[in-house]
Amino acid sequence: MNVHHAALRLVATFGFIGQESVIGNTIYKDGLRDEKLPFMRPTDTAKQTSEMLPSFNSLDATIVDAFLDKQWYFLAPVIPKRGNIGFGMDLKLDARCPLPIQKNVLIVQENDIRVHQAWLHPSHVHGLFFVKPSVAIKEIPYTELYEWESARTRHSHALNHKHIIGLLASCERGDLNCLIFPWAEGGDLVEYWKRRDSLERHTSDFTVWLLEQLLGLADAIKCLHNAGASHGDLRPQNILHFTNFMNLQNGGLGTLVLANIGVSSLYDHEIPEPAHRASIQYKAPEVGNGDEVDWEKSQSWDMWSMGCIIFEFMVWLFSGLDRVKLLSSRRGVSELYGNPEAPGSFFWRNPQGSVEIHPTIHDEFTNLRAIPSCRENTALMDLLDLAQNDLLRVDPKDRADAHVFHANLQRIVTAMQGGPENLHTRVQDAPPESPGLHDEEDWLVEALHSPGSRHGSSPIDIPTKPTQLNRGS
């Protein structure tokens, strides 16, 4: 029997419960299609709006009950994917409806928010995957927080920017509220530094990639700011590395993407603005010590945070991750230069009470400028100037805004494209250490996708025995 392709799930359900013989008298008699699923018994309040199914009246009650129970097995949604952008579906599912997850692992838990890596069933993914279709699922337990985060994520998703994480879907399913994102195969920026620490990176190709990625991130921040938003928590752990097949096949090194746009208010007063603590190490001097965010200053401290990230990228480029860790540790524990207001930050309060760039940062800029690859009239020297003179300015009024930041980076990239002489051709050994930086100390890296932070299996399950809930159609 030829069955209309629009009723495949109906046919599968009847077949699953062993009632193939009733297909003709139900699907064709009532003109049923998959789009009308799920079927439910009408409640008193839903009788006026429910569409009646006369053919089901002739079926035995046990068959109807079996159909209503087992139909959920065939209603798992298909989730579209397009690179790291996504399509932003809005899924509102019955608690009995499974998610098309074959396997998932809890990656990190912060307070009550959990992030999982999950592998979707290939038949429920629409779009081209070159590897197993894994996604990141951010589980948010509180309805108000979920609604707020879902709204601001959709705002940033709507920018459709290559360097801003896309949203595959938001999902409400019973007590589960979650956001589904593409999975960053390369992890976050800290993991990227760790993975490439022993690999060759002192090449023109890598430097070109680095500058172009920074330009892409600058453009993403400019787009956020133009939309009345800010990131609010820029740090290496919130920059993800995507390594899709086509990019790598074409000789690329992947794409850096902003994620966890945690305090983007978009100044929409219809969206609640919960308290949020910006990451202390990368926060700007003007950020208060309390939990409440000063929204009016958030765009300016994005610029400060990018200065911190560029600085650490340069330190890693020439001296490796251990050096980045050591400098961070010294900023946090030094009795002479410690900053009790914001331990580990890039600024400190001197004995006279004035806020200044932290001495370890100032000294390391001096060391970096001593490297031949950062000599005058090179792209890397210009990048150092941009970080030190435009972004890491204590007074936010002296700090470049997103437009100036992007324009200056664009000039660096344009000049770099003029010829290899604008890049470094050889990198000398690691710069000399600043005084007092000889002792190795522990340093905690907050990595969103760090394998060391895994806590075991995820509570997100695929129901194998759905239980019927009372819900009107």
Residue 175 has pLDDT above 50, yes or no: yes
d(CA 38, CA 243): 39
* Residue written as token pair 């000599």: 375
d(CA 72, CA 61): 18
pLDDT in tens, 306-322: 999 999 999 999 999 99
More confident residue, 263 or 64: 64
Check residue 131 and give left, alpha or beta (phi > 0: left; psi -120 to 50: alpha). beta
Q: Which of 457, 420, 421, 193 is nearest to 313 (CA)?
A: 193
Q: Lowest-confidence range among 106-110, 343-347, 393-397, 444-448?
A: 444-448
pLDDT of residue 421: 57
pLDDT of residue 470: 30
pLDDT in tens, 27-36: 777 778 888 8
CATH class of 189-448: mainly alpha
Residue 201 has pLDDT above 70, yes or no: yes
pLDDT of residue 29: 72
pLDDT confidence of 67, banded at 50, 70, 90? very high
Query: Which residues 6+ apart lie within 8 Å of 74 measured at CB?
Result: 9, 12, 13, 16
Residue 457 has pLDDT above 80, yes or no: no
More confident residue, 203 or 265: 203
d(CA 39, CA 404): 57
Residue 238 has pLDDT above 60, yes or no: yes
pTM: 0.78
pLDDT confidence of 88, banded at 50, 70, 90? confident
Q: Lowest-confidence range among 21-35, 120-134, 349-363, 453-467?
A: 453-467
pLDDT of residue 142: 87
Q: Which two tokens stand for residue 400?
A: 């470049």
Length of the chain measured in residues: 473
**Count of beta carbons in the 10 Å neighbourhood of residue 401:** 17
Residue 335 has pLDDT above 50, yes or no: no
More confident residue, 26 or 380: 380
**Count of beta carbons in the 10 Å neighbourhood of residue 298:** 23
| Angle made by CA atoms 95, 74, 4, in degrees to the nearest 5 | 140
Query: Which residues 6+ apart lie within 8 Å of 463 measured at CB?
Result: 72, 96, 98
- 384: β partners: none
pLDDT of residue 293: 52
d(CA 126, CA 138): 21
Torsion over CA: 414, 416, 417, 419 (sign): positive
* Residue written as token pair 């961070």: 328
Residue 448 has pLDDT above 70, yes or no: no
- 181: β partners: 136
Q: Lowest-confidence range among 204-208, 328-332, 438-442?
A: 438-442
pLDDT confidence of 354, banded at 50, 70, 90? confident
* Residue written as token pair 């899924």: 91
Rounded mean pLDDT, 324-340: 70
Distances (CA, A) of 152 to 118, 240, 264, 305: 23, 19, 6, 21
The amino acid occupying position 281 is Q
Name the range with the highest mean pLDDT among 162-171, 197-206, 444-453: 162-171
DSSP character string of 282-336: G--TTS-SSSS--GGGHHHHHHHHHHHHHHHHHHHHHH-HHHHHHHHHHHHH-TT
Residue 54 has pLDDT above 80, yes or no: no
- Work out the mean pLDDT of the chain and round it to a whole number: 77
pLDDT confidence of 327, banded at 50, 70, 90? very high
Q: Where are the domains of the chain?
A: 5-74, 79-184, 189-448
Rounded mean pLDDT, 267-287: 60
pLDDT of residue 6: 81
Residue 455 has pLDDT above 70, yes or no: no
CA atoms within 13 A on the CB side of 79: 31
pLDDT of residue 82: 58
Q: Which of 296, 262, 224, 232 is nearest to 148 (CA)?
A: 262
More confident residue, 57 or 64: 64
pLDDT of residue 420: 56
CATH class of 79-184: alpha beta
